[in-house]
Amino acid sequence: MVNITIKQKQLKLLDSKGPEDILNEYKEFYLRKPLSLFDYKDLQNGILNSKTQDNIHHTINYYFDKYFKKYLCSLINIDKHFLENILEENFSNFYIGVSDEGTITGIPIHKDYLPQFIETIEEKLSTYYKDIIGLHYEKGIKEIQIGEEIFYDFEKLLSIIKRHTKINIHILDKSNSTNSNYEKINKIVDDVLEEEKEYDKEKNFHKQIKLKKKLYNEKYSQSFHLLIRNDIVMEEFKQYCKKYPFVIDDILELLKEKIIYKGDVEKYLLNGNYIKGSFYPNDKIQDNYYGNKMKEYLKYYKEFKIFKLKHNITIEPFCKKSPKLKLNSILKNISCFSKHLYDNPNVYYIMIHIELPFIKDKRVYLGLKDNHNIKIIKRSFEYTLNMPCTQTN
């Protein structure tokens, strides 16, 4: 049976719990998926919409899956070197909804979500404990080797931990004071949206230039049955051909007569070459004459097309990224809307506090089963960084 307690307004949002230490680990709550700007606007208007509620639900599940077993083990396995200094204490503490500095930032939820949240925790804990094992240097039957050390399966430890682990869900007293994190985020959002306007202008201009380039290319590369009827292009081609002893008028008229639809081209051309006898099957002289003219026509048009395309617009790729992408990280902060959600009676701010009975016996540890192996995760202290840390044996 999981020991879950709901505590009403014993703590206030944005109060301080002091710095982390060897007995206290804090995790501030950030969404896995960033808010959209529409969700952001809803929160500014004091609305916790269903999409954001769903995002919060999935993130809470993620926090328990990612952190619970790790900190259950580490906060119960307090480094034996520190035990003498904390013998008067009985519990270590894991908090979700508290910043690294110790400020209670909370988690906003819809009040109707609370029963589902409790049910979710109960289901998850029963699963998590399957991966936990008690270890003793001396007592037990099954011998277990971890690294170079020998332990024994100590089942009694697990039942003690289950019985004394307490999960407190604090419904926080809301705060109507200005949230400094929100002020910073909103300033960034406003600045980014201004950048986005300039970005959109540049991107749209680039699109227009690309379209202009595309239309220019297509002008000289359209289907043959349309190309020969494009008076503008054919007039340009005639002017180009004046430097050669080649007149296109008669072959152009013949082509217009013979090639009316797209599929007609295949009756006279194969792989870009004239099919002999296709223009005048009963008049070899006429056919040779127009066949040769067709060959010249294709040759000179290829030159003409290359010449024209050289004069097309040259544009660089548009490599800029939307400034709104910079918002992805900051729009994971869901807790900073405390002032906006203050008057919404359907929204609770909660903090999760898990009390864990840490082991004071130097012969006993809690083990975590991991891929058919067992590892010991301990709570220790990093003197160089002057902060508590987690170590794995």
| Residue 8: inside a domain | yes
DSSP 257-325: HH--SGGGGGGTEETTEE-TTSS-TT-HHHHHHHHHHHHHHHHHHHHHHHHHHHTSPP--------GGG
| Residue 78: inside a domain | yes
In this structure, are 106 and 168 located in the same domain? yes
CA–chain centroid gap for 333, Å, is: 14
Band of residue 11 on the pLDDT scale cut at 50, 70, 90: very high
| Residue 282: inside a domain | yes
Query: Cα–Cα–Cα angle for 96, 102, 108, nearest 5°?
Result: 40
Instruction: Report the range of poorest mean pLDDT among 4-8, 40-44, 380-384.
Output: 380-384
Render pLDDT for 365-376 as a digit per residue (tens, 0 to 9).
999 998 888 999
Render pLDDT for 161-196 as a digit per residue (tens, 0 to 9).
999 999 999 999 999 988 999 999 999 999 999 999
Decide if pLDDT at 1 tops 70. Answer: no
Average pLDDT over residues 287-296: 94
d(CA 125, CA 167): 11
d(CA 4, CA 167): 5
Query: Cα–Cα–Cα angle for 154, 158, 161, nearest 5°?
Result: 135
pLDDT value of position 127: 87
Listed residues 269, 291, 310: the one ending a domain = 310
β-partners of residue 379 are: 78, 390
| Residue 332: inside a domain | no
Query: Alpha-carbon torsion 134, 360, 136, 81, what sign?
Result: positive
In this structure, are 85 and 155 located in the same domain? yes
**Measured between alpha carbons, how far is residue 221 from residues 214, 247, 268, 291, 327 in Å?**
10, 21, 19, 22, 43
pLDDT value of position 123: 87
In this structure, are 272 and 214 located in the same domain? yes
What b/e sequence results for 300-338 when a residue is b if at least 16 CB atoms lie within 10 Å of its CB, and e otherwise?
bbeebbeebeeeeeeeeeeeeeebbebbeebbbbbbbbb
Amino acid letter for position 226: L
Please state, for a pLDDT cut of 90, what percent of the chain lies above it. Answer: 83
Residue 109 structural domain: 3-179+338-392
In this structure, are 10 and 147 located in the same domain? yes
In this structure, are 171 and 267 located in the same domain? no
In this structure, are 344 and 306 located in the same domain? no
Render pLDDT for 138-147 as a digit per residue (tens, 0 to 9).
988 889 999 8
| Residue 320: inside a domain | no
Residue in the structure block whose two tokens are 């999960």: 167
In this structure, are 199 and 157 located in the same domain? no
In this structure, are 230 and 273 located in the same domain? yes
pTM of the full structure = 0.80
Amino acid letter for position 13: L
Render pLDDT for 69-99 as a digit per residue (tens, 0 to 9).
999 999 999 999 999 889 899 999 999 999 9
In this structure, are 246 and 135 located in the same domain? no
| Residue 330: inside a domain | no
Render pLDDT for 111-150 as a digit per residue (tens, 0 to 9).
999 999 999 888 888 889 889 999 999 988 889 999 889 9
| Residue 256: inside a domain | yes
In this structure, are 113 and 207 located in the same domain? no
| Residue 315: inside a domain | no
393: nearest Cα among 37, 36, 11, 80: 80
Total domains present in the chain: 2
Phi, psi of 372 (to 5 degrees): 70, 5
Name the more confident of 29 and 1: 29
pLDDT value of position 393: 75
Average per-residue pLDDT for the chain = 93
pLDDT value of position 16: 94
In this structure, are 22 and 89 located in the same domain? yes
In this structure, are 28 and 57 located in the same domain? yes
Helix-strand-coil percent breakdown of the chain, rounded to 5? Answer: 45, 25, 30
pLDDT value of position 272: 85
Decide if pLDDT at 385 tops 80. Answer: no
Render pLDDT for 234-256 as a digit per residue (tens, 0 to 9).
999 999 999 999 999 999 999 99
